[in-house]
Amino acid sequence: MTIQTVAKYLEQLCREHSLVNHSDDAPHFVNLNDDKRNTSLVQELRYPAVYFESTDFQIEASSTSVSRNYTCHIEVLVHVTDTGDYAEVERALSDSSQIITDIFVRMMHDRVERKPEHKWLLSLIPSSPIKVLPIQNAENALYGCLAEFSVSLSDCINDSLNNFKSINNG
């Protein structure tokens, strides 16, 4: 399981979400860690837009396992036609906060369902409240929210051991 698994899952949620409606023809989602796609996609992105990024990770080791705890961000931005129209700005902030809330509600729902393809959700670290911050970029007429969360992926241990000749050659 890699951080790309998380990105693909979030992209699928954006395809299913009624306010986002991400599709190949109308892109509303971008994985900022995917260098190949995001350069051209950001110019084509439609709003509301959902950005996903994993910014760093910490290695957590115990006597029986090693895992990577990734810090992830989801940003939801809505474009407004008039930054001086406070009702439109408030609506954009409200819509973006609703989308972020919906995404986390769905993640927790899928976590409880325990489907094999979503087993990584069990490693979502919901021990503390997920802080959601407002984003205001009046210059580009974009308003929205940013949420930071952590996910722990432990499948790195076998790949790492395979990189040592002394272990592979017996």
Rounded Cα–Cα distance for residues 144 and 76 (Å): 5
**Residue 70's CATH number:** 3.30.70
pLDDT at 38 > cutoff 60: no
Are the C-beta atoms of 95 and 19 separated by less than 8 Å? yes
- pTM, two decimals, is 0.85
Q: What is the pLDDT averaged over residues 96-110?
A: 94
Token output for 117: 């393809």
Question: Is 169 part of any domain?
Answer: no
Question: Is 58 part of any domain?
Answer: yes
- Rounded to the nearest integer, the mean pLDDT of the chain is 86
Q: What percent of the chain has pLDDT over 90?
A: 52
Domain that includes residue 135, residue range = 3-164
The better pLDDT of the pair 132, 153 is held by 132
Q: Where do runs of H (alpha helix) occur along the chain?
A: 3-16, 35-44, 86-113, 156-161, 165-168
Are the C-beta atoms of 151 and 6 separated by less than 8 Å? yes
Question: Is 8 part of any domain?
Answer: yes
Question: Is 68 part of any domain?
Answer: yes
User: pLDDT of 57-94, one tens digit each?
Assistant: 888 877 777 888 889 999 999 999 999 999 999 999 99
Question: Is 170 part of any domain?
Answer: no
Q: Give every CB contact of residue 39 below 8 A, 6+ residues apart in sequence.
A: none
Token output for 108: 């927790």
pLDDT at 127 > cutoff 80: no
User: pLDDT of 48-57, one tens digit each?
Assistant: 999 999 988 8
Domain count, the chain: 1
Q: Report which of 63, 55, 52, 61 is spatially closest to residue 20, judged by C-alpha positions.
A: 52
Question: Is 29 part of any domain?
Answer: yes
Question: Is 105 part of any domain?
Answer: yes
Question: Is 59 part of any domain?
Answer: yes
